[in-house]
Structures are given as C-alpha cells and as structure tokens.
Amino acid sequence: MQKKEVLSHPSLGKLPARKVLECIFALSPTGNFLHHHLEEVSTTDSEGEVLYTLTGRPPAAERERCRVIPPMVRQFDAVA
C-alpha cells in the first residue's frame, strides 16, 4: 500500500501531495496545483504518511526551467 503524501502549507494547512522526480505537487482547496521542489521542503517519513513541510528555502536556480507536468487530479482521489 502506498503511503499517504501530504504537504504542510503555512496558510492552507495539510494538502494532498505527490512527489514526481524532484518536484512536490499539492492539490489546493481550489483545485489548482502547487509546485515546489525537494530543496524547498523538509521530509518526515512515518509509518503511514510522508509529510513535506515548506521551509522557506528558495528553489535551486536551475529549477527556473522546470517543466514537469503535474499529475492528473484523479491521482489525488485516494488521499483527498
């Protein structure tokens, strides 16, 4: 069974998330995707959940050209 992935956002709270390569996508309450990178979060891996917490660190300079397409919304159905 896949662990539940969650992004802890300072103003939106805990959001369903998915890691794709070195990107973290989270589904906002409005249905839009938030896009962050591994260097912008700290990761806590517990028995049933992977928690990504925004740290305030900026993305690496080379991320400016990141073109990873976010996952389909249906991929969030199991955790929403």
pTM for the model: 0.82
Q: SS in 3 state form for 31-50?
A: CCEEEEEHHHEEEEECCCEE
Structure confidence by residue, pLDDT tens digits, 11-43:
999 999 999 889 999 989 998 889 999 999 999
The first and second tokens of residue 24, run together, are 């973290």
Give the model's pLDDT for residue 65. 82
